[in-house]
Amino acid sequence: MIDNFLLLFDYPVLSADLALNGLLIGAVFVLAAFGMALVWGVLNIINIVQGEFVMLGGFVALMAAEAGLPVLLGIPIAALALFILGWGLYRLVIFRVIDRDLFVSVLATFGLSIVLQQLSNELFGADVRTLEAGLGTLLLFDGAVALAQIKVLAFFLALGLGLLLWLFLKYSRLGQAIRATAQNPRAASILGIDTDRVYAATYALNAALCGAAGGLVVMAWAIHPYIGLPYTVRSFLIVIVAGIGNIGAVVAAGLGLGAFENVAGFIFGTEYQIALVFLLMVLVLVWRNLRLQRKRMYLK
Amino acid sequence: MGMARWKWTGKAGRAALTAALIWAAFQPGAALAESIRLGSAISLTGKYSTNGDFTQKGYDLAAKAINERGGVEVAGKKYTLEIVYYDDESTPARGAQLAERLIAQDGVQYILGPYSSGLTKAMAPVTEKYGVPMVEANGASVSLFTEGYRYLFAVLSTTEQYLQPVVDLAAKVAHDPSRVRVAGAFENDPFSQDVQNGVLADIKRHGMKMVIEDKLPPELNDMSATLAKVRALRPDVLLVSGHARGAALAVRQLSDMRIELPMVGLTHCDSAQIIEKFGEKAEGFLCAAQWAPALKYSDLLFGSAADFARLYEETYGAPPPYQAAESAAAVMVFADAFERAGTLDPKAVRDALAETDMMTFYGPIRFDESGKNVAKPMVLYQVQDGEYKVVYPPEPAEAELRYPMHAR
């Protein structure tokens, strides 16, 4: 561990390499976390299927490439396919659990995630799959920092989609309906908003975001039918830290998480990487609780 | 045809069927001679289904070859081999149940192993309890052979040997082995930890220095933290063991991060399909394997390793992965033990198994006290010009090692 610290001092540029690579890893988490925050905020559902949507997005991108389409086109295709799947799942399962206890919806989406895992195992096989986007590497600082361009693409896609999402929620008709429904579903429906449709659109949008993330995962890393859980856990964590109503905070938390993971993994050894992520979450929650307590005291 | 049989619903029909069966059973030398039933619970569905399928194909191919040659001769009588299969759904609990069922309910007295160490570990206590011998071809974990099991035999090389040949090669090409610096990234699961232990022992023996020793969490989908260290320390050898995902990530991210090292050894290259997926980027990587068609082993049943590969490809339309080859060898071991035991008593067969000393297309097979095959070395491929070439063991090597790996 101390060796690793010293190594960072011997090669200062290494920390830039680690942090930048980490930011790019975080970008994919950000995409999945956008969706989770949306669904949580609007439908009041903690969507455990998140990771499976990512995984399915990867397989869709893979199939699109195998069908002879340009590899990068797989990302929007995955988003589109997952949008349709998300809509279908809403109509089939999710609408039934919306007004129920949080526990019921967690259970339902957990069940869905197992079903999707097993189905993809049947359909695509259990092998580890990858897809080459053929983008090459971006070298910075005389080659001391090397970033895979597909990850750079993921980063800007996450930022771009975040901005689009923000604009969409703020200015578009549907976006306003989504926000209205999130604030008060009853009032929204009295004012003529078809809340059921809003829910369906929100859920489908979430799936589409995850689908795009999945397309990036298969091109930058690897996928298999059981890869979903880490993505669910990460997006859950990001949303807990960032809160559900703030897209900027989701971006910051996601990228920060990625960078923290990578640097912590380097210093303390990769075996503690995940544990440290959770430790960080606990610390953030404790800190936030303390701050809230102070606020509460003022209120008294 | 099945329908016709089920139409016999009346009592008379059933009696007639029973009579026919009894008659058939007592016919001397009926169409098929008596058969020996082997049982196997393997992963036909679930996460090991690909390799479970290879396992079954290997078993079937060997049983078919043996039966076509006239079967197994035990005490002057010919028997054919028949294999009863169940699907363990890739879950250890189900595997243990099915082993119980095969033995207690179906009366099977000889078990062919499942796929993976985990499932073998789940089934071994059951076969042990009933005193039924199990010959397995796909559970390589060292921990299987420290429990004192007497009825468990494995034809494959155990996990700690997977990457040892890489260390050997590194020692051979170095002017001074004690100056060789090794980096390792091993997944934090039983398989890869075994691999790591084996490597560490060898590194120590050669006096090499381990400069990085990372344990990759199984849920990790990125290696850049480890590779950043590799980039800074520039070790002479990098070893990665993390199943197919580890192999795919290592090849992809080493190239993404523009890290060039003299020697990199991996496990599971073939299941990660590194050549097919990464093409040029996969050049020079060393890949551990249990067997390769290019090896110069041979036997009377299949002929040479290459003959086996040809037969397999004719039968199943794809070249044989080593999982299929070792599975075929497991059936041959059983056949050999039956003939030497001269009886079908499971205890006698077990003792005959323990005495096994045979040569197969898969390699030599001889078990030590604990039941693992100690006669066969691991094989190392190197990716050279888009093909896997055997570079180790030195004897049947197909090609010279390219060192450093990017040299042409």
Residue A111 touches partner B, C-beta closer than 8 Å: no
Query: Residue A163: its pLDDT value, please?
Result: 92
Q: Would you call A14 and B231 a contact, using CB atoms and an 8 Å cutoff? A: yes
Instruction: Look at B4 and A221; give whichever has higher pLDDT.
Output: A221
The whole-angstrom distance between A271's CA and the closest CA on chain B is 5
Query: Residue B50: its pLDDT value, please?
Result: 84
Closest in B225, B253, B257 to A265, CB measured:
B225
Q: Would you call A125 and B49 a contact, using CB atoms and an 8 Å cutoff? A: yes
The C-alpha atoms of residue B281 and residue A191 are separated, in whole angstroms, by 59
pLDDT tens digit string along A254-266? 999 999 999 988 8
Query: Residue B10: its pLDDT value, please?
Result: 52
Query: Residue A257: its pLDDT value, please?
Result: 92
Instruction: Look at A32 and A292; give whichever has higher pLDDT.
Output: A32
Mutation target to probe the B interface, by most B beta carbons within 10 A, among A138, A221, A227 is A221
A-chain CB neighbours of B228 within 8 Å are 14, 17-18, 21, 262, 266
Measured in degrees and rounded to the nearest 5, phi and psi for residue B303 equal 85, -140
Q: Would you call B219 and A230 a contact, using CB atoms and an 8 Å cutoff? A: yes
Are B58 and B322 contacting, i.e. CB atoms less than 8 angstroms apart?
no
Average pLDDT over residues B74-89: 94
Q: Is the pLDDT of residue A212 over 80?
A: yes
Query: Residue B23: its pLDDT value, please?
Result: 55
The whole-angstrom distance between A292's CA and the closest CA on chain B is 34
Q: Predicted confidence band at B12 (pLDDT cuts at 50, 70, 90)?
A: low
Query: What range defines the domain where residue A100 resides?
Result: 2-271
Q: Is the pLDDT of residue B408 over 90?
A: no
DSSP string, B225-246: HHHHHHHHH--SEEEEESHHHH
pLDDT tens digit string along B313-357? 999 998 898 999 999 999 999 999 999 999 999 999 999 999 999
**Is residue A155 situated within a structural domain?**
yes
Query: Residues 186..225 of A with a Cβ closer than 8 Å to B: which?
Result: 217, 221-222, 224-225
Q: Is the pLDDT of residue A297 over 70?
A: no
Q: Would you call A18 and B224 a contact, using CB atoms and an 8 Å cutoff? A: yes
Query: Residue B138: its pLDDT value, please?
Result: 93
pLDDT tens digit string along A81-101? 999 999 999 999 999 998 888
Measured in degrees and rounded to the nearest 5, phi and psi for residue B131 equal 65, 40
Are B361 and B308 contacting, i.e. CB atoms less than 8 angstroms apart?
yes
Query: Residue B33: its pLDDT value, please?
Result: 66
**Is residue A41 situated within a structural domain?**
yes
**Is residue A201 situated within a structural domain?**
yes
ipTM metric: 0.83
Q: Is the pLDDT of residue A103 over 60?
A: yes
A-chain CB neighbours of B214 within 8 Å are 269-271
**Is residue A142 situated within a structural domain?**
yes
Q: Would you call A126 and B232 a contact, using CB atoms and an 8 Å cutoff? A: no
Instruction: Look at B395 and A71; give whichever has higher pLDDT.
Output: A71
pLDDT tens digit string along A159-196? 999 899 999 999 999 999 999 998 898 999 999 999 99
**Is residue A93 situated within a structural domain?**
yes
Out of 3.50.50.60, 3.40.50.2300, 3.30.390.30, 1.20.1560.10, the CATH code matching B161-289+379-392 is 3.40.50.2300
Average pLDDT over residues B252-261: 91
A292-296, B6-10, B64-68, B132-136: the lowest-pLDDT one: B6-10
**Is residue A40 situated within a structural domain?**
yes
Residue B185 touches partner A, C-beta closer than 8 Å: yes
Q: Would you call B252 and A130 a contact, using CB atoms and an 8 Å cutoff? A: yes
Entry pTM: 0.82
What average pLDDT does the structure give for chain A?
A: 89
Mutation target to probe the B interface, by most B beta carbons within 10 A, among A17, A140, A273, A278 is A273
- 3-class DSSP state for residue B91? coil
Superfamily of domain B33-157+295-366: Response regulator (3.40.50.2300)
Instruction: Look at A241 and A77; give whichever has higher pLDDT.
Output: A77
Q: Would you call B46 and A146 a contact, using CB atoms and an 8 Å cutoff? A: no
Question: What percent of chain A clears pLDDT 90, i.e. is strictly above it?
Answer: 54
Closest in B225, B244, B278 to A273, CB measured:
B225
Identity of the amino acid at B172: K
Average pLDDT over residues B104-120: 94
Query: Residue B14: its pLDDT value, please?
Result: 57
Q: Is the pLDDT of residue B288 over 60?
A: yes
Question: Among candidates B195, B206, B344, which has minimal Cα distance to B266?
Answer: B195
Q: Predicted confidence band at B285 (pLDDT cuts at 50, 70, 90)?
A: very high
Residue B33 touches partner A, C-beta closer than 8 Å: no
B-chain CB neighbours of A22 within 8 Å are 224
The C-alpha atoms of residue A4 and residue A16 are separated, in whole angstroms, by 15
Q: Is the pLDDT of residue B397 over 90?
A: no
pLDDT tens digit string along A107-141? 999 999 999 999 998 899 888 899 988 888 888 87
pLDDT tens digit string along B125-134? 999 999 999 9
- Residue ranges of the domains in chain B? 33-157+295-366, 161-289+379-392
Closest in B46, B220, B231 to A273, CB measured:
B220
Query: Residue A300: its pLDDT value, please?
Result: 55
Cα→Cα distances B156→A83, A273, B137, B273, B375, Å: 47, 34, 6, 22, 9
- CATH assignment at residue A195: 1.10.3470
**Is residue A228 situated within a structural domain?**
yes
The whole-angstrom distance between B308's CA and the closest CA on chain A is 25
Residue B183 touches partner A, C-beta closer than 8 Å: no
What average pLDDT does the structure give for chain B?
A: 88
Domain count, chain A: 1
B-chain CB neighbours of A143 within 8 Å are 258
pLDDT tens digit string along B43-60? 998 878 888 999 999 999
Q: Predicted confidence band at B84 (pLDDT cuts at 50, 70, 90)?
A: very high
pLDDT tens digit string along A14-61? 888 888 999 999 999 999 999 999 999 899 899 999 999 999 999 999
Which residues 6+ apart lie within 8 Å of B311 measured at CB?
B61, B65, B302
Q: Is the pLDDT of residue A250 over 70?
A: yes
Average pLDDT over residues A220-230: 91
B-chain CB neighbours of A227 within 8 Å are 221
The whole-angstrom distance between B189's CA and the closest CA on chain A is 11
**Is residue A298 situated within a structural domain?**
no
Which residues 6+ apart lie within 8 Å of A28 measured at CB?
A54, A154, A158, A213, A216, A217, A220, A231
pLDDT tens digit string along B198-232? 999 999 999 999 999 998 888 778 898 899 889 88
The H or E element that residue B210 is part of is: strand B209-216
Q: Which two tokens stand for residue B44?
A: 């036909």
The whole-angstrom distance between B342's CA and the closest CA on chain A is 42
